[in-house]
Amino acid sequence: MSNSILNNVVNRLKQSLGQSRYHVAVHDCQHFLDVLSFHSKESFSHPWQYNVALTCSESDTGFNQCR
């Protein structure tokens, strides 16, 4: 089996085992991110605001790796 197929299978397995109901996909980020919590704020004459807390099963994941 090629590495790309094996990596795809491993990523799908991690996705199915996630504890969260919501997930986030970040462009060019190979890690699987679960949504721990989120809060949104909306009001007149102001832009929308979203605060999202994420978790990842990889212990050494940093935002610098998801660029």
Per-residue pLDDT of the chain (67 residues; tens, 9 = 90+): 577 787 777 777 666 665 567 778 888 887 878 888 889 999 999 999 999 888 887 776 666 656 5
Cα–Cα distance measured from residue 60 to residue 55, given in angstroms and rounded to the nearest whole number? 12
What is the torsion angle, in degrees rounded to the nearest 10, for the CA atoms of residue 29, residue 19, residue 8 and residue 62? 20
Domain assignment of residue 22, given as a range: 3-66
The number of distinct structural domains making up the chain is 1
pTM: 0.51
What's the confidence (pLDDT) of residue 49? 93
What's the confidence (pLDDT) of residue 10? 73
